[in-house]
């Protein structure tokens, strides 16, 4: 299958990184998570559940017919661990019916691509914390997702085929302002292009940067990648503006590649193939 195979290249640099034991936090503190001390939010009717899901970038809901099963306490422990994710819980028969839940299930709802990922079946009742935690870390894609070994795998779990990366050092003084504008631009391309942040201050991310043939001196930079055909392009930028991002994305969507960048590549003495 073409689509699956064309992802090999991206998968390759993801896999060569290996899995780091600790995973960096999310891009920014988001305010949509419930107060962790309160536990998950009880969703007692359908409108409450619908509103809860639409208000969060990432919502995890435990739909339980039986609250005595062991996974329920594991589920509660996740609320403490992922303070920037919204956790809801329901045992209301109408809510369960609305979401077509016939077995105990934990679902992740994402705003960025409108996906619902479900964990269900027999093994869920005794699911361990590490497994549930990994599911949440991997699949918590946001309006802007920070690249790390966990979310790197989650990037394959979306139907959005175009990924835009902002490669920038998070410790740089201009980071906050640029990130703010990048987020603004992300709203314009929601469900069309997945926005990713790559912290060039993290040594392991050097592989991602060299994949796009970017030099340290060219950062910060935008890189865009289409999983369907492995087409990609880059644009070094001194300042991120909504307009820059928009023009770059629109150009790529129209099939334009930035000539300079690709000419420069052809002129390098190293010839591939
Ligand atoms: C849901 O859980 C609450 C709290 O344990 C319980 O009082 C209620 O009867 C349960 N509802 C259903 C439909 O099982
Ligand atoms: C539940 O299933 C029905 C029939 O398969 C489908 O039309 C509906 O969209 C589903 N509801 C949700 C919330 O997924």
Identify whether the C-beta of residue 49 lies closer than 8 Å to the C-beta of residue 43.
yes
List, for residues 81-115, the tens digit of each pLDDT value: 999 999 999 999 999 999 999 999 999 999 999 99
Report the distance separating Cα 159 and Cα 187, nearest Å. 17
Helix (H) or strand (E) holding 48: helix 46-54
Distances (CA, A) of 7 to 111, 208, 216: 23, 14, 26
Q: pTM for this structure?
A: 0.78
In CATH terms, 31-139 corresponds, of 3.40.30.10, 2.60.120.260, 2.60.120.680, 3.90.1150.10, to: 3.40.30.10
Report the distance separating Cα 11 and Cα 5, nearest Å. 10
Q: Residue 112 C-alpha to ligand 2 middle, in angstroms? A: 20
The pLDDT value recorded for residue 37 is 59
Measuring from atom 7 of ligand 2, which residue has the nearest CA?
A: 100
The pLDDT value recorded for residue 262 is 55
> Domain 2-25+144-264: which CATH class?
alpha beta
> With a cut of 50, which residues of the chain have pLDDT below it?
1-34, 36, 264, 266-273
Helix (H) or strand (E) holding 32: none
Atom of ligand 2 nearest to the CA of 116: 14
The pLDDT value recorded for residue 8 is 41
Residues of the chain with CATH 3.40.30.10: 2-25+144-264, 31-139
Report the distance separating Cα 144 and Cα 137, nearest Å. 14
Atom of ligand 2 nearest to the CA of 98: 13
Measuring from atom 6 of ligand 1, which residue has the nearest CA?
A: 91
Residue among 100, 107, 108, 109 to mutate when testing ligand 2 (max atoms within 8 A of CB): 100
Token pair, residue 95, equals: 């809510």
The pLDDT value recorded for residue 150 is 87
The pLDDT value recorded for residue 13 is 42
Q: Number of helices and strands (H, E) in the chain?
A: 11, 10
What proportion of the chain, given as a percentage, has pLDDT over 70? 81
């Amino acid at each position: 299958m073409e689509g699956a195979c064309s992802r090999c290249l991206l998968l390759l640099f993801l896999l060569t990184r290996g899995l780091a034991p600790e995973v960096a936090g999310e891009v920014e503190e988001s305010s949509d998570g419930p107060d962790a001390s309160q536990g998950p939010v009880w969703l007692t009717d359908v409108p409450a559940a619908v509103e809860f899901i639409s208000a969060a970038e990432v919502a995890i809901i435990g739909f339980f017919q039986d609250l005595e099963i062991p996974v329920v306490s594991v589920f509660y422990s996740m609320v403490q661990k992922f303070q920037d994710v919204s956790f809801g819980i329901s045992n209301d028969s109408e809510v369960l019916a609305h979401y077509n839940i016939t077995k105990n299930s934990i679902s992740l709802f994402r705003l960025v691509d409108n996906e619902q990922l479900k964990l269900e079946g027999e093994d869920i009742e005794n699911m361990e914390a590490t497994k549930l935690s990994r599911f949440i870390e991997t699949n918590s894609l946001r309006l802007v997702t920070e690249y790390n070994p966990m979310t790197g795998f989650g990037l394959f779990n979306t139907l959005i085929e175009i990924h835009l990366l902002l490669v920038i050092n998070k410790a740089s003084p201009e980071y906050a302002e640029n990130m703010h504008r990048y987020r603004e631009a992300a709203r314009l391309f929601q469900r069309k292009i997945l926005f990713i942040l790559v912290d060039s201050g993290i040594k392991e991310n050097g592989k991602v940067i060299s994949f796009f043939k970017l030099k340290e001196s060219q950062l910060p930079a935008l890189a865009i990648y289409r999983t369907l055909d492995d087409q990609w392009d880059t644009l070094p930028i001194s300042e991120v503006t909504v307009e820059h991002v928009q023009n770059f994305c629109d150009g790529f969507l129209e099939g334009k590649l930035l000539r300079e960048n690709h000419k420069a590549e052809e002129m390098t003495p190293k010839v591939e193939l």
